[in-house]
Amino acid sequence: MSRIYKLTVFEPSGEKLLDESFKAENDEQAKELGQNLLKEKNYQDQTHRCTSPSGTLLLFHR
* Residues 1-39: tens digit of each pLDDT: 899 999 999 999 999 999 999 999 999 999 999 999 999
What is this structure's pTM? 0.91
Q: How many other C-beta atoms can be found within 10 angstroms of the C-beta atom of residue 56?
A: 11
Q: How many other C-beta atoms can be found within 10 angstroms of the C-beta atom of residue 58?
A: 19
Residue 16, pLDDT score: 96
Say if CB 37 and CB 17 are below 8 A apart.
Answer: no
7-44 burial by CB neighbour count: b if 16+ within 10 A, else e?
A: bebbeeeeeeeeeeebebeebeebbebbbebbeeeebe
